[in-house]
Amino acid sequence: MEPKELFKRAGGCAAVATKLGLRAHSTVLGWKRIPPHHCPTIERIFGIPREELRPDLFKRTPAQEATR
């Protein structure tokens, strides 16, 4: 997922920055890709699976596929 799509789904870049505890929304505006260390927090807060955020790094297991 591109950062712009995350911002759209999460209510804006300021919402993402605030929920992640970052000082300024400009931090997330500079993202070319969503940093992997933020994926678990984004998943928990916004309900977007980490596999969707960074499919290049996180893969769904067969058990996860069965629950979707």
Q: Which domains does the chain have, with CATH numbers?
A: 3-66 (1.10.260.40)
Helix or strand run (H / E) with residue 44: helix 39-46
Per the structure block, which two tokens stand in for 64?
A: 């996860």
Query: Quick one: pLDDT at residue 60?
Result: 77
Average pLDDT across each block of 10 residues of the chain; the chain has 68 residues. List them in order.
96 96 94 97 96 92 60
Helix or strand run (H / E) with residue 52: helix 50-53
Number of H helices, E strands in the chain: 6, 0
Amino acid, single-letter form, for residue 63: A
Sign of CA dihedral 54, 18, 47, 42: positive
Do the beta carbons of residue 7 and residue 20 sit within 8 Å? Answer: no
